[in-house]
Structure 1
Amino acid sequence: MESVLAQLLPMLTAIWWPFCRILAMFIGAPVLGEAVTPVTVRILIALVLAVLMLPATGGVGGYAIEPFSMHGVVATIEQALIGFVLGLAFHFAMSVVGVLGFMVSSQMGFSMAVMNDPMNGQSSDVVSALLSVLSIIVFFAIDGHLLIANIIGQSFRAWPLGQGYAPLLLNAVAYNVAWIFSAAMLLAIPIVFSTLVVQLGFGFLNRVAPSLNLFALGFSVITIFGLVMLAEVVRFIPDHYVRMSNQVLELIRQQMQAAGHG
């Protein structure tokens, strides 16, 4: 019995460090980190991946850190921080679609049409919910779940356990938050500009014929015109999402190269 326990403790210690990093990445990653994915499912997937990645992480004898020491606590926080930042970087591409949905809804007058969003566990407008479903389909169509698993495996070579964590990745992710809004604006500009032109037209018409009830008529026309423009823009969202995902992968690759040279 003592021999079994002596072999079990190093195995559990070797699995614990990859498990912390993978689980933290799932918390920040798109789809897998949403409320629609149960916590038990995330834990089971993280545990399976931690076992499968033992050869890449050094194996059973690759770690000499005592998990119940202060060094072990710091190493656990380090692994959780690395995983969460990697997952947050992938979440940016999904956030662009959400920001686009809110901007389009506010221009079309759909911000009042709120429905329960099972992805986030809260209420959101209809356009954002539909665009979120579209982005999830594209995420699995481009094998995003496999990309996340690949990035996790490569991260153990770039930032191995016990080697410290330079905040290069965290700084790069924080500085690239601005492109979420710029990418969403690029997609929303056609709809925003077209609805603005319609609103200006009804404003001039109201000056010419103030007796007409242009508020009720204008709301309907703006909604119909916005839906037509949204139908034209939606077909470009998958390609835009793929380009944003490639940008995130390039960002992570550059940080891994910088960490490897460092």
Structure 2
Amino acid sequence: MITLTDAQIQAWLGMLLWPFFRILAIFAMDPFYSSRSIPVRVRVGLSMLLAILIAPSLPPMPAIEPVSALGILVIAQQLLIGLAIGFTMRLVFSSIEMAGHLAGLQMGLGFASFYDPQHGTNTVVVAQFASLLTILVFLAMNGHLLVIETIARSFVLLPISDQPMKLAGLKLLVDAGGQIFTLGLLLSLPVMAALLITNLSIGVMSRAAPQFNVFAVGFPLTLGIGVAALYFSLPQFPPHIHRLMEEATRLAYRLAKVFGGG
């Protein structure tokens, strides 16, 4: 007859419970796995499956009870670490969406917004197009597998411990979040530059010919040139998305090291 002690049960529970919460937090923040098209029970089941698969290769767990006060603090710490790591990949999608918002507003399509079921809010049509393009490139590059690889490596760079994590990682995360606006502006720069030249030309024509109807000609002209500039800049998006994803992965690894005091 097989007998199990309370210490063995607590050790097995901690070996699965703490990795499970970190993985679940990453899936809750990652822009692909947190999609509303993926049911919550699927994300929970996938998190448990990954925790079971990687548990034998994890470093030794802290010798504390998972249901104790200290164990709950470890769970909260794993949730915070998982949310921070998942946020690094969300930066890529947010930057592309910001570029779509800026381009859409300059093209005069700020009013052309509709409900986006992925985000649960109204989104400018150009921003949603950029978001869908990013998801397609993400899947074509096996980004969903890259996220799982990042999860597995995070446990090596930042093992589960009862020691408090370093707050310098939060500052690193905030600094990285500020790059959303910079990257969004740089990605939308071709469209915005073309529209700036167009608006300057329309302004010169309106000054040269006061009877020139700016509203009747300006809007379709800016819309057409904006769509053309967006069309010709689309081939440059996949290489930039690929580079941003690589930088997001390196940021996740660096974040894990900083949280661990490395």
Provide TM-score, normalisation by structure 2: 0.91
Residue 167 of structure 1: how far off its partner (Å) = 2.5
Instruction: Assess if the C-alpha contact under 8 Å between 2:109 and 2:124 holds in 1.
Output: yes
Aligned residue for 1:182? 182
- Partner of residue 156, structure 2: 157
Per-residue deviation, residues 184-239 of structure 1 (Å, max 9, x unmatched): 21121121121111112112212222223221211001000000000011111111
Letter in structure 2 aligned against 1:102: H
Cα deviation 1:89-119 (Å, max 9, x = unaligned): 1110111110001000000011111122121
Which residue is equivalent to 1:77?
76
Q: Contact 2:166/2:260 (CA < 8 Å) preserved in 1?
A: no
Q: How many residues align?
A: 260
C-alpha separation in 2, matches of 1:199 and 1:208: 14
2:57 and 2:260 mapped to 1: Cα distance?
15
Instruction: Judge conservation of contact 2:23–2:151 (CA < 8 Å) in 1.
Output: yes
In structure 2, distance between residues paired with 1:251 and 1:168: 13
1:1-262 maps to which residues of 2 (within 5 A)? 3=3, 10-58=11-59, 62-162=61-161, 163-257=163-257, 262=262
Separation of aligned partners in 2, 1:190 and 1:56: 47
**Is the contact made by 1:93 and 1:241 (CA closer than 8 Å) also made in structure 2?**
yes
| Per-residue deviation, 1:63 | 4.4
Deviations 1:12-50 (A, max 9, x none): 332111110001111111211233332222111111111
The 1:196/1:157 distance shift into structure 2, 3 A limit, reads same
227-236 vs 27-36, which moves further? 27-36
Distance 1:201 1:261, change over 3 A: closer
Alpha-carbon shift at residue 168 of structure 1 (Å): 3.4
**Is the Cα contact below 8 Å between 1:36 and 1:121 reproduced in 2?**
no
* Partners of 1:223 and 1:201 in 2: CA distance: 14
2:169–2:255 contact (8 Å) kept in structure 1: yes
Q: Which runs of 5+ in 2 are unaligned?
A: none
- Answer yes or no: is the 8 Å Cα contact 1:56–1:153 preserved in 2: no
In 1: Cα distance, 2:132 partner to 2:215 partner = 32
3-state secondary structure, aligned to 1:176: helix
Distance 2:257 2:44 in 1: 29
Query: Given the superposition, is the C-alpha separation of residues 3 and 182 from structure 1 closer, same or farther in structure 2, using an over 3 Å criterion?
Result: same
Alpha-carbon deviations, 1:33-88, whole Å to 9, x = none?
Answer: 233332222111111111111112247xx442212211011100110011110000
Q: 1:210 to 1:47 in 2, by over 3 A?
A: same
Look up the SS of the partner of 2:188 in the other structure: helix
Counterparts of 2:14 and 2:253, CA distance in 1: 28
TM-score (norm 1): 0.91
- Go from structure 1 to structure 2 and tell me whether the alpha carbon gap of 1:69 and 1:9 turns closer, same or farther (over 3 Å shift): closer
Seq. identity, % = 32
CA RMSD, 1 decimal: 2.2
Please, which runs of 5 or more residues in structure 1 have no aligned partner? none
Instruction: Report the Cα distance in structure 2 between the residues aligned to 1:11 and 1:256, rounded to whole angstroms.
Output: 24
Contact in 1 for aligned 2:36/2:117 (Cα 8 Å)? yes
